[in-house]
Amino acid sequence: MKFREWAKTLLFYEIALGMKATLSHLLHYKPITLQYPHEKKQLPSNYRGMLALLRYDDGTEKCVGCDLCEAACPSRVIRVVSAEVPGEPTKRYSKEYYMDMTRCLFCGLCVKACPVDALGMTQEYEWAVYDKRQLHLNKEQLLAIGDRNFPVREKRLEFQHPNVAYFNVGFKEIPQKEL
């Protein structure tokens, strides 16, 4: 046993083993590198990326200004200023809607909290900017993100389900009608 160990040391057996390993990696060259800006990773379908405000298919905003997203947000990203729709005292909308994306941790709780599915999470993640004030987004910017990421829009709730009241009831809470 002693002799074997001596022989191994003298013949650089361990070093030769290591060098064999590196050489085999060179000969069976299969890089795991993803050449990032040129090729991009396939994202999972439930990827939680940039937040967006959504619209109905007639172009009206889904948001009813209920502030539940603001309440649900753990890092106080969202600020909503709610107001009555002019001329329609029964309806409300968000007059101003701000998101400070420097603080967002992409937990998705606001999306869960929204009763009318007005918020969505996109697959966008390339949001590096030189000035972090550019990450303080207003309503128009959030709607624009939604427009470019969700081309297929839902109908208004009252047209989807003529027998339910038309706002403040989430689509997901309504029992689905068998077609």
Partner 1 sequence: MDTGIRLALTLSQIGVVMVAVLLTVAALTLLERKVLGWMQDRMGPMEVGPYGILQPVADGLKLFFKEDIIPAGANKFMFSMAPVLSLVPALIGFAVIPFGPDWTVDVGGVNFKPFVITDINVGILYILAFASIGAYGIILGGWSSNSKYSLLGGLRSAAQLISYELNVGLSIVGVLLLSSSLSLVTITNAQAGGFWNWYFFGGGGFPQAVAFIVFIISAVAETNRTPFDLPEAESELVAGFFTEYSGMRFAFFFLAEYGNMILVSCVATVLFFGGWHAPFEFLQGPESIHWVTGIFWFAFKVSSFLFLFFWLRATLPRLRYDQLMRFGWKVLLPIALANIVLTSIVAFLFPGS
- Say how far apart CA 170 and CA 148 lie, in whole Å: 23
**Which DSSP string do the residues of 66-119 spell out, in sequence order?**
--HHHHH-TT--EEEEEEEETTEEEEEEEEEEEEETTT-----HHHHH-TT--E
DSSP SS3 for 56: strand
Q: How far is the CB of 19 from partner 1 (least distance, A)?
A: 5
Which residues contact partner 1 by CB under 8 A?
15, 18-19, 21-23, 25-26, 29-33, 35
Q: How far is the CB of 42 from partner 1 (least distance, A)?
A: 20
Beta carbon nearer to partner 1, 16 or 83? 16
Beta carbon nearer to partner 1, 35 or 176? 35
Beta carbon nearer to partner 1, 26 or 128? 26
- Say how far apart CA 162 and CA 179 lie, in whole Å: 14
DSSP SS3 for 137: strand
For residue 59, what are its two tokens? 């172009």
Beta carbon nearer to partner 1, 41 or 177? 41
Q: How far is the CB of 176 from partner 1 (least distance, A)?
A: 49
Q: How far is the CB of 40 from partner 1 (least distance, A)?
A: 16
